[in-house]
Amino acid sequence: MQQDHSRPPCLPPHRLKVVLVHPQIAPNTGNIARLCVATGTELHLVRPLGFVLTDRQLRRSAMDYWPRLKLVVHDDMDRFIEAAGDGPVWLLSSKATRSLWDAKFGEGDWLVFGNETGGLPEALLRRYPDRRLRIPQAQGERCLNLSTAAGIGLYEALRQTCVPT
């Protein structure tokens, strides 16, 4: 099938979700908010947050995208787990041993990221032992910036679920 290169590529509507658990750095969350708007992805934040949602740095990094953000804020981890229900939850963590490239993403998956200093809570990692993923990196490197990791994880899930084969 011939691709039409006369128009820029656009993503179709989808139901993937990005979740930030206890994010600490407002500009990272702002960058991820912008990513979510640009990809049509719902952003979920799990309290406590390391900033307030009216933070100037948060809004500056999200630029004029913030008003178009589909945002859901969960008061705590229990409320998030309740909202996710039986939905496929993927935990992206530097502590995981399974590669992001081995995951088979599906429509409606939840991509969950921990905070910048502590990662994901141990209780959450124990709850989903078979759903932990690590973004491959050079040997000996610890981790990626949260907003970079969110972009990599989300676009891999979008590639698998939204690109016709």
Q: What pLDDT is recorded for position 8?
A: 80
Q: Is there a domain that residue 158 lies in? A: yes
pLDDT tens per residue, range 107-132: 999 999 999 999 999 999 999 999 99
- The upper half-sphere exposure of residue 165, i.e. CA atoms within 13 Å in the direction of its Cβ, equals 4
Q: What pLDDT is recorded for position 3?
A: 64
pTM of the model: 0.94
Q: Which amino acid is present at 134?
A: R
Helix axes 26-39, 146-162, angle to 10 degrees: 20
CATH number of the domain enclosing 37: 3.40.1280.10
Rounded to 5°, angle at Cα 74 from 87 and 48: 130
Q: What pLDDT is recorded for position 10?
A: 87
- 56 phi-psi bin (left φ>0, alpha ψ -120 to 50, beta other): alpha
The answer to whether residues 62 and 123 touch, using CB atoms and an 8 Å cutoff, is no
Q: What pLDDT is recorded for position 74?
A: 99
Q: Is there a domain that residue 7 lies in? A: no
Which domain covers residue 124, as residue numbers? 17-135+143-162
Mean pLDDT by runs of 10 across the 165 residues of the chain is 72 96 97 97 98 90 93 98 96 96 97 97 96 96 95 98 79
Q: Is there a domain that residue 99 lies in? A: yes
Tell me how far the alpha carbon of residue 95 is from its chain's centroid. 16
d(CA 40, CA 61): 18
Structure tokens at 13: 């509507």
Q: Is there a domain that residue 61 lies in? A: yes
